[in-house]
Structure 1
Amino acid sequence: MAEVYIDAATAGNPGPSGAGIYIKAGGEHYRYAVPLPEMSNHEAEFHACLEAIKRCEDLHVSILSIRSDSKILVDSIEKNYAKNRTFNMLLREIDEKSKQFDYVFVKWIPSSQNGEADSLARKALRR
């Protein structure tokens, strides 16, 4: 199982954005700071999730436990619905990419437990 911590940061809202992804899998730790184009912070959270899923594909894990401090993202995935059209399109993509794994769990965590992913997202903004 891979523990996947994700976060997004945005300089302005909307503005240039970044995704932070911290993965613990098979005794290894993987850190990714991914620059994103200009978008809202909430949209960047969905992109962070997609980027994390793509990274997990490369690691060949079968079970993901995704943790995020974004209630909008976690609630949308749990309900399989997003009112916002852009979020809904991204949600469909998350759902489709998740099908290749045996299990994908998504859990909301407080920001205080997401420091590594937050730091990586802020680092991505500086690139």
Structure 2
Amino acid sequence: MYFDSALNINGAGAGILFITPIRDKLRYVLRIHFAVSNNTAEYEACLHSLRIAVELGVKCLMVYGDSALVINRLNKDWSCSSEKMDAYCAEIRKIEGKFYGIEYHHVVWDQNQIADQLSKIGSSRTMAPPGVFVQDLLTPSIKEDKEVVEVTPAKQLVLTIPSQVTDWRE
């Protein structure tokens, strides 16, 4: 299974590609309808791909992603450094118990192009080609004990207008 995410001006999306042992391919597009960072979108993509695998009855899974951060954290090579990312890791750990075997592998972007293309369909909100499953994610997959609000750079730029207009030459 391959996963990837994309973020652009229209929104966020994720792409998932399953390849069966007999080389059949299942393609999924996720349209993410809430504010996310690049890392959050990658975790959402991975988490939803695992949930889909469980629904499909998959018992052994090889997971490929081009996010070194997510893959290394899931392989326990890197520690999680934020409560939000800890929550995603914990949710993924719960789902891992539903598989007899699961492995995470980092791949370079060139080896993840189909998932990348699917993620761009999700983030751009364009129509998916025939045979591609589309799902809309309306809320984040994790619940956090403490509310952590991610603010996109565009929303951080705030223009403050003074309540009294003074002469700038004073």
TM-score (norm 2): 0.68
- Residue 26 of structure 1 deviates from its aligned partner by 4.1
Tell me what 2:40 maps to.
43
Which secondary structure state, in structure 2, belongs to the residue aligned with residue 54 of structure 1?
helix
| Distance in 2 separating the partners of 1:65 and 1:126 | 28
Tell me what 2:104 maps to.
106
Which secondary structure state, in structure 1, belongs to the residue aligned with residue 70 of structure 2?
helix
> Within 5 A, what are the aligned runs for 1:1-127?
4-11=1-8, 16-27=11-22, 28-36=24-32, 37-79=34-76, 81-127=79-125
Which secondary structure state, in structure 1, belongs to the residue aligned with residue 3 of structure 2?
strand
> Aligned pair count?
122
CA RMSD in angstroms, aligned pairs only? 1.4
CA contact (8 A) 1:81 1:91 kept: no
| Distance in 1 separating the partners of 2:44 and 2:79 | 16
Runs (4 or more) in structure 1 with deviation over 2 Å come to: none
Query: Deviation per CA, 1:45-66, whole angstroms, max 9, x where unpaired?
Result: 0110011001101211110100
Identity, in percent, stands at 25
Query: Deviation per CA, 1:62-100, whole angstroms, max 9, x where unpaired?
Result: 101000000000111011731121111001000101110
Structure number with the higher strand fraction is 1
Structure 2: 5+ residue stretches without partners: 126-170
